[in-house]
Structure 1
Amino acid sequence: MPGIDECLLEAMGLPGARGAWLVDWTSGLALGAAGESPVGDHETTAAESAELARAAAEFESPAGPHASAPGAAPTDPAATGAARADAVPPVEDLIVTTRAGYHVIRFVETAFDSSVFLHVWLDRNTGNLALARMRLGDLAERLVLG
């Protein structure tokens, strides 16, 4: 079971990996970083990706399991858990594509508050998006924080 540094090194072993981070999405702080940053600074990358992750984690998708049927009354967020800050985010991962690369953000479920995510930046020409998703999922399950 890898710790933060080992996890980030494994993520950097992905084809086309240029940078990897473990970020607390509530504070925007990088708990660990490896490789390059697309903006030249790991803390800025962590803060920017945390904003995106926070928006996704707090959003209950209309197509999600708690969605109301067309014409039905809106689902009560308190009943679905969407309004609970300690709930597991309804989103499993996020993929952002740019002209030069892919950013894959994978939420990590933890015993305490599930407020961290893994973020890997892949080169668009040499990265393998499907493999990155699968490996980040595996890393997120095996990651040991503490």
Structure 2
Amino acid sequence: MPDLDIALKDAMQIDGAVGAALVDYGSGMALGIVGGSRDFDLAIAAAGNSDVVRANLRAMEMLGIEGGIEDILVTLGGQYHIIRPVTGHSGQGLFLYLVLSKQRANLALARHSLRRIEENLEI
């Protein structure tokens, strides 16, 4: 079972990966980050997407929707942003965040790969 560093490195092996992080959505703090660029601050993006996760959870609660979030996809002009909450007991309150280049990524394969990484993650 991969630890955090291995999981993030595996995420960066997904075709089109620009950056990956493990984030605490309660605080918005990234527990680990790989990738990003000078023009794209992954820590700021991760913190901002914590608001997205919290908003989705609140909406689900208000609507009485049972179950959890499998993943959240944000599609931008040149990027996909995939947010995948960690489902394991030790990962409560955390999500994996993956940024992909739209031109190089296969979205279906990326989602499948990120699910596999999340399922095997040991925190």
Q: Same fold (TM over 0.5)?
A: yes
Compared with structure 1, are the counterparts of its residues 38 and 59 closer, same or farther at alpha carbon in structure 2 (3 Å cutoff)?
Answer: farther
- Distance in 2, Cα, partners of 1:98 & 1:55: 19
- Residue 57 of structure 1 is matched in structure 2 by 57
TM-score under structure 1 normalisation?
A: 0.76
Displacement of 1:61 in angstroms is 7.4
What is the identity percentage for the equivalent residue pairs of Structure 1 and Structure 2?
37
- Residue 98 of structure 1 is matched in structure 2 by 76
- Residue 32 of structure 1 is matched in structure 2 by 32
TM-score under structure 2 normalisation?
A: 0.89
Contact preservation (8 Å) 2:12, 2:18: yes
Residue-pair matches, total = 123
Larger radius of gyration: 1
Q: Which of the pair has the greater relative contact order for Cα pairs under 8 Å at 6+ separation? A: 2
The RMSD of aligned alpha carbons is 2.2
Displacement of 1:45 in angstroms is 1.6
Q: Aligned to 2:49, what secondary structure does the other structure show?
A: helix
Which of the residues 97, 100, 107 maps onto 1:129?
107
Letter in structure 1 aligned against 2:105: G
Unaligned segments of structure 1, at least 5 residues: 68-79, 81-88
Structure with the larger helix share: 2
After TM superposition, what 4+ stretches of structure 1 lie above 3 angstroms from structure 2?
37-40
Unaligned segments of structure 2, at least 5 residues: none
Contact preservation (8 Å) 1:37, 1:45: no
